[in-house]
A and B are shown apart, each in its own frame.
Chain A
Amino acid sequence: DGGITQSPKYLFRKEGQNVTLSCEQNLNHDAMYWYRQDPGQGLRLIYYSQIVNDFQKGDIAEGYSVSREKKESFPLTVTSAQKNPTAFYLCASSQQGAKTGELFFGEGSRLTVL
């Protein structure tokens, strides 16, 4: 079945450690996105990529990094520079760079810093 796969679903990290969240899609979509979700704050855009080998910062990119070496993959690294990384992370993809607005979401990864 076509869709977006995020892994791991749950992740625990010690302070000072980097961690990478995986996002893979088999929808042949050009654009991919990473959002962070915190209670009462909706979804905030971290990074997005509209084409392979290119990506842009969103509203809260500090402390995060991404790569887009393949069309189907858009991993997110949460670095030790991210001051409050505990959150629910959602990956999404779309055709036409979200011009139509329909994003397809993965089931999310919950990161907890111990």
Chain B
Amino acid sequence: AQSVTQPDIHITVSEGASLELRCNYSYGATPYLFWYVQSPGQGLQLLLKYFSGDTLVQGIKGFEAEFKRSQSSFNLRKPSVHWSDAAEYFCAYNQGGKLIFGQGTELSVKP
């Protein structure tokens, strides 16, 4: 079955450290892939998306993600984490006009 998997339920990083959140997809063709962020008790906001072309995509708030077909991955990265980045992050893909989400990764930031 087609799906996205986020292997890490919870990650803690120190402020200023680099961040990588993992996302693996299971899909026959090249999927449309997305990363969303959710602050506690709020809706989701789109960080970035990949459709085709350049495999390194830039998003808002200093985030980027790299599509790697050979590894079926679309990992989210940020070179230096800020305390305000603490939130839950969701990877998703487009399936027939609807978005299917991964389980989410909760990010905590240590001062």
- Nearest-neighbor residue (CB-CB) of B100 within chain A: A45
- Neighbouring A residues of B9 by C-beta, 8 Å: 40
A52: interface (CB < 8 Å): no
B99: interface (CB < 8 Å): yes
- Neighbouring B residues of A43 by C-beta, 8 Å: 44, 90, 101
User: Chain A interface: which size bin?
Assistant: 20 to 34
How many residues does chain B have at the interface if contact means C-beta atoms less than 8 Å apart? 24
**Assuming the A-B contacts A90-B44, A101-B34, A105-B43, are A40 and B97 also in contact, with contact meaning beta carbons closer than 8 angstroms in the complex?**
no
Listed A/B pairs (22) with beta-carbon separation below 8 Å: A40-B9, A42-B101, A42-B103, A43-B90, A48-B98, A90-B43, A90-B44, A98-B97, A98-B98, A101-B34, A101-B49, A101-B92, A101-B99, A102-B34, A103-B46, A103-B99, A105-B45, A106-B43, A107-B42, A107-B43, A108-B41, A108-B43
